[in-house]
Amino acid sequence: MQVFEITIPVKSPDRPILIDFSGDVHLGSKSCDVEMFEKAVTKTIKDKAYYVGMGDAVDSIVPADSRYDRADVSETKFIYNDVEWDLGSLDGQHAYYEMIMERIAKTGRLLGLHYGNHGSKVYVATTNNLMKGIAARTKCRFMGYFAHWKIHFSYKGKRINTITLVTWHGHGGSASPAGVINVHERLRKSFDADLYVCGHYHQLITFSRVRLGTDGKRSIGKFCWHGVSGSFLRTYRPGTDNYGCREAYDPLSVGFLRATIIPSKGITNLGVIDMDQEIGGV
């Protein structure tokens, strides 16, 4: 578990701050909608949002892995730093993601990157955590697999508010929406936070819960926000037969989550950015 604090200076205590949580891109699979992922990153940059990578950015399924299917491996070639890369290879997948993350890093709004269960298999087999290297080179926080952290907001050099977050890639089989909510109920019982976000389940889900406190004279409601950060891996695409097809998983939209925060007040919304609704997709 990673435990840390980040301070974000703001120009106004009442001007909204946006934080995007985006993961499960699965670069390297033919089922990955690379074009829509790039459009999503462009939206993050255009809207001046901060960014947290939620893990499984790359597919990381190598030939020795029982999940490997040559028919689902990308054949795309691209140039990065004057070198040709193959998106179907492990180094090419990470190079592509690093190339895209550099765009956000240049804005100063890349908060951090998680790794996920796909990258974890490579890490265990080779002792090489490739996402940690990308975080180091883009000069952002490496968030590990699970992070319990705080964001402090400062105005004119003085701290005005703090929010606490739990961000976790996620674990286990493909859960139903009800199953995912149960996972979040367990997280809320075990970890104190204002915002809980996980990846892994490839769904776009948000909900909130409220706890009542008191100042001795009145009841005060405190909201806890929960979300699953979506994916850019299409369950069904013409010409592909990925594991989602084989298991007949539900077709899902691609996209990510966006938290809206008023620095002086806290989180006011955790919303879904469904890229199929935003731009149109298949």
What is the model's pLDDT at position 236? 72
**Residue among 55, 61, 23, 91 nearest 232 (CA):** 23
pLDDT tens per residue, range 200-229 = 999 999 999 988 878 788 888 888 999 999
Residue 93 pLDDT level (bands cut at 50, 70, 90)? very high
By CB atoms closer than 10 A (0-12, 13-18, 19+), residue 22 is buried
Average pLDDT over the chain, rounded to an integer: 91
What is the model's pLDDT at position 279? 66
Task: Say which residue, 131 or 181, is predicted with more confidence.
Answer: 131
Domains of the chain, residue spans: 2-278
Which structure tokens are listed for 126? 């080779």
pLDDT tens per residue, range 245-255 = 776 777 788 99
How would CATH label the architecture of 2-278?
A: 4-Layer Sandwich (3.60)
Task: Say which residue, 239 or 90, is predicted with more confidence.
Answer: 90
pLDDT of 159 strictly over 60: yes
Residue 86 pLDDT level (bands cut at 50, 70, 90)? very high
Question: What percent of the chain clears pLDDT 90, i.e. is strictly above it?
Answer: 72
pLDDT of 282 strictly over 50: no
Most confident of the following: 4-8, 67-71, 217-221? 4-8
Of 34-43, 149-158, 168-177, which gets the smallest average pLDDT? 168-177
pLDDT of 281 strictly over 60: no
Which structure tokens are listed for 64? 């020795």
Quick one: CA dihedral 167, 31, 275, 139, positive or negative?
Answer: positive
Residue 186 pLDDT level (bands cut at 50, 70, 90)? very high
What is the model's pLDDT at position 174? 59
**Residue among 22, 28, 25, 23 nearest 93 (CA):** 28
Of 38-42, 57-61, 174-178, 278-282, which gets the smallest average pLDDT? 278-282
Which structure tokens are listed for 170? 């996620």
